[in-house]
Amino acid sequence: MARRLACGFARLDASLVELGTVQTNIVNCFVGDAAAVARALGERGIRAIGRGGKVRFVVHAQVDEDSVDAALDAMAAILH
C-alpha cells in the first residue's frame, strides 16, 4: 500500500515524493508547510506527521485501498 500511496502522490505532483526511497511502509511527502498540511489532513480524518517541509505517512496492516484513496483525495483537495 505504501507504493500505491507514493505513486498516487507522484501523479498529483512529481515533486511531492521520491519514489526511489519508498522501500518500507513509510512514505514521505515533501510540501512547503508540512504542519499545515498535516492539520488539514487530520481535519479530513487522515493521520500524518508534518514537520518542516515533510509530511510522513506510515502505512500499516489496517490501511486498505479505500484508505489510500481517501488520503490521495484529501491531499489533492488540500494542494489544489
What confidence score (pLDDT) does residue 67 get? 95
Return the sign of the alpha-carbon dihedral for residues 62, 64, 2, 72. Answer: negative
The pTM score is: 0.91
Query: Which residues, in sequence order, are CB contacts of 65 under 8 Å at separation 6+?
Result: 1, 4
**pLDDT tens digits in sequence order for the chain, 80 residues long:** 999 999 999 999 999 999 998 988 999 999 999 999 999 999 999 999 999 999 999 999 889 999 999 999 999 999 98
Q: Is residue 25 within 8 Å of residue 2, measured between CB atoms?
A: yes
The residue type at 50: G
Q: What domains can be seen in the chain, in order of their start residue?
A: 2-79 (3.90.1150.10)
